[in-house]
Amino acid sequence: MPRIRMWGRPNSLCTQRALWGCAEAGVEVELTLASATNGPQGNIYNGFKPYGIVDSAEYRAMNPNGTVPTIQDGDFVLWESNAILAYLAQKYAPGPLHDGQLQTFVRACQWMNWTNEYLEPHLHTLVMELVRLPPAQRSAERAEKARQGLLKPLAILEAHLAKLPFVAGEAFSLGDIPPGAAIQRWLLFDLERPAMPAIEGWMRRLAARQGFHRHVAPAAFHLA
């Protein structure tokens, strides 16, 4: 089994993407816990120490942004979770992560980038306002604005999945990973939402996958 190094934290959606992708690709991961904002006891907003590493000179030489995840595969270093998924799909898993067709691959990339643009900003606000900030610093107004901001993109995804079982077509692909992790967090927040039968059916299909079960499903990875 191939093996790579990864720096990240389990409650990071972007790290979850990369870990899930590795599981699908059959790649073993040596994970080093790294973060500027979260540590073993909790997040810095509540006075806990972060895992660190990301501000070190060694890490910044690999990833000048100081973000997670970063992977190292032999001498090759890569950051940005969507790029990592594309790399895994091309090098290790053209079967498990896409069907080898260019159109499938770029359609998957479309939904990965869509997740970053239309879901992640609102989810970041929600996780801060509902989970990570001390209660005195939270804003119900900001949380509600983020909840409402998700409704339009969720309706777009719902309409798309009413026609297809997975985002890039008839089979699971790397394109399902970023929105799947994002929607899992959204559902665990248990906020008011319209009926989403197509999304819920898709999530049940994703939940049957071992990589999702291990790296995305646990509530502790989203509510901490």
Number of domains in the chain: 2
Note the residue count of the chain.
224
Sheet with 70-73, strands from edge to edge, namely: 28-33, 3-8, 70-73, 76-79
Residue 4 φ then ψ, to 5°? -130, 165
- Judge whether 219 lies within some domain: no
Query: pTM value?
Result: 0.97
Residue 1 pLDDT greater than 90, yes or no: no
Percent of the chain with pLDDT over 70: 100
As a whole number of angstroms, the distance between CA 162 and CA 18 comes to: 27
- Mean residue pLDDT of the chain comes to 97
Task: Determine the 3-state secondary structure of 4 from DSSP.
Answer: strand
**Do 65 and 143 fall into the same domain?**
no
CA gyration radius, the chain: 17
Say if CB 219 and CB 127 are below 8 A apart.
Answer: no
pLDDT of residue 94: 81
pLDDT at residue 224, as a whole number: 81
Q: 41 phi and psi, to 5 degrees?
A: -95, -15
φ, ψ of residue 56 in degrees (nearest 5): -75, 155
Query: Is the model's pLDDT at 95 over the cut of 90?
Result: no
Domain extent at residue 114: 102-209
Mean pLDDT value of segment 68-96: 96
Per-residue model confidence (pLDDT) at position 93? 80
Residues 8 and 70 in one domain: yes
Mean pLDDT of 28-50: 93
**Predicted local confidence at residue 113, as pLDDT:** 99
What CATH code is carried by the domain that includes residue 139?
A: 1.20.1050.10
Please tell me the predicted confidence (pLDDT) of residue 89.
96
215: in domain: no
Distance CA 102, CA 67 (A): 29
Is 85 found in the same domain as 23?
yes
- Note the pLDDT tens digit of each residue in 196-209: 999 999 999 999 99
How is residue 81 annotated by DSSP?
Answer: H
Residue 221 tokens, joined: 């990875």
Per-residue exposure over 164-199, b if at least 16 CB sit within 10 Å of its own CB, e if not:
eebbbbeebbbbbbbbbbbbbbbebbeeeeeebebb
Query: Quick one: 61 and 111 in the same domain?
Result: no
pLDDT in tens, 112-123: 999 999 999 999
pLDDT class of 46 with cuts at 50, 70, 90: confident
Residue 187 is predicted with a pLDDT of 98
154 and 187 part of one domain: yes
SS (HEC) of 100-130: CCHHHHHHHHHHHHHHHHHHHHHHHHHHHHH
Average pLDDT over residues 72-101: 95
Min mean pLDDT across 3-17, 74-88, 90-104, 168-182 is at 90-104
pLDDT by residue (tens digit) across 186-195? 999 999 999 9
pLDDT tens by residue, 48-71: 999 999 999 999 999 999 999 999
Q: What is the pLDDT of residue 128?
A: 97
Q: If you search the block for the tokens 């609102």, which residue do you land on? A: 122
What pLDDT was estimated at residue 58? 98
Helix (H, G, I), strand (E, B) or coil at 71: strand
CATH of the domain at 24: 3.40.30.10
Nearest Cα neighbor of 4 from 117, 108, 91 is 91
Q: Among 185, 143, 153, which Cα is nearest to 15's?
A: 185
